């Protein structure tokens, strides 16, 4: 099963996806008991949404639906019928409770559809591609393809507890989304310079036979590429270059890891270029 975050709508193809020039949804994650990404019918789970922009993580109002997914020629899932769950909540970085109905069939293909609005209320329509915000803006829409658990479908989210990041040999510790600063609270990297960035994920980041997709984002500066891929037989690591911004600049970097089977996890890093 291939499960991934799919943004509904078109982005400027000339923009570098790894650079956060405006608010964007970078990842969607489902968490059931035991850190499973596959949902247990009749059991509670959680929904997490990573929304960030040039200044770091953002708050918003979020409307979402959980439903059985229908096959779609659009390339993104949509609901085959009435949603199991529909709600509008505050998106503030805390997990959102998600009740999975007991009538969901084991191994069923599911969809989580949502729209986030920064300064307005989300407005739903019969077709999710028309979901918008009360201020007339299109909103930040997403569609996430998931599965319910079955004897043949049980998947864990990537465990990123062993991840280490170094930038030109400087170890950088993960943060919990707090704003970056240049007052000694964050790692400092040389400004206006090209750096070699190394991610070591550790074997806990994947289950046997999984390929990993790593998405790289930076609120300032520029990664050489958006994605890194790790084949099952390769070490779970990635190396790439990154151009740091001007001196005195604070920034956030994000690493989003997907296992191609519905598992998603992420980390954020706060830096100062000086």
- Rounded to two decimals, the pTM is 0.92
* pLDDT band at residue 12 using 50, 70 and 90 as cut-offs: low
- The CATH number that domain 5-147 falls under is 2.60.40.1930
Average pLDDT in the chain: 90
The domain limits of the chain are: 5-147, 164-273
Q: Is the per-residue pLDDT at 5 higher than 80?
A: no
Statement: residue 214 has pLDDT above 60: yes
Please give the torsion angle defined by the CA atoms of residues 145, 151, 152 and 158, in that order, rounded to the nearest 10 degrees: 60
Please tell me if the domain spanning 5-147 has the same topology as the one spanning 164-273.
yes
Above 80 in pLDDT, residue 8?
Answer: no
Residue 187 pLDDT > 90: no
CATH topology of domain 164-273: Immunoglobulin-like (2.60.40)
Percent of the chain with pLDDT over 90: 79
Burial of 201 (0-12, 13-18, 19+ CB in 10 A): buried
| 135: number of Cβ within 10 Å | 12
Contact assessment for residue 147 and residue 1, using Cβ atoms and an 8 Å cutoff: yes
Average pLDDT over residues 213-230: 97
Rounded to an integer, the average pLDDT of 221-226 is 96
Between 36-45, 97-106, 125-134, 171-180, the lowest mean confidence (pLDDT) is in: 171-180
Say if residue 30's pLDDT is above 90.
yes
Q: What is the pLDDT of residues 52-68, one digit of tens each?
A: 999 889 999 999 999 99
Q: Is 20 helix (H, G, I), strand (E, B) or coil?
A: coil
DSSP three-state, residue 224: coil
Query: Residue 266 pLDDT more than 90?
Result: yes
Of the candidates 162, 25, 17, the residue with the CA atom closest to the CA atom of residue 91: 25
Q: Phi, psi (5° rounding) for residue 205?
A: -75, -10
């Amino acid at each position: 099963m291939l499960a991934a975050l799919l943004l509904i709508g078109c982005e400027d193809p000339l923009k570098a996806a790894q650079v956060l020039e405006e608010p964007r949804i970078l990842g969607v994650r489902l968490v059931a008991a035991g850190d499973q990404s596959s949902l247990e019918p009749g059991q509670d789970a959680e929904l997490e949404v990573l929304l960030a922009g040039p200044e770091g993580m953002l708050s918003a109002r979020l409307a979402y639906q959980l439903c059985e997914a229908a096959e779609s020629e659009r390339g993104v899932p949509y609901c085959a019928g009435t949603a199991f769950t529909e709600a509008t909540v505050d998106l503030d970085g805390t997990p959102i409770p998600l009740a999975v109905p007991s009538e969901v069939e084991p191994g069923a293909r599911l969809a989580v559809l949502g729209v986030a609005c920064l300064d307005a209320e989300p407005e739903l329509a019969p077709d999710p591609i028309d979901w918008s915000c009360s201020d007339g803006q299109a909103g930040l829409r997403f569609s996430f393809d998931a599965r319910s658990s079955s004897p043949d479908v049980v998947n864990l989210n990537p465990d990123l507890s062993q991840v280490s990041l170094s930038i030109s040999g400087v170890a950088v510790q993960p943060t919990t989304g707090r704003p970056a600063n240049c007052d000694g609270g964050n790692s400092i990297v040389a400004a206006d310079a090209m750096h070699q960035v190394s991610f070591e994920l550790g074997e806990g980041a994947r289950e046997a036979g999984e390929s990993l997709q790593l998405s790289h984002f930076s609120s300032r500066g520029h990664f050489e590429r958006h994605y890194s891929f790790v084949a099952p037989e390769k070490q779970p690591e990635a190396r790439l270059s990154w151009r740091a911004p001007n001196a005195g600049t604070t920034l956030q970097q994000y690493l989003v890891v997907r296992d191609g089977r519905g598992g998603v996890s992420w980390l954020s890093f706060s830096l100062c270029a000086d």
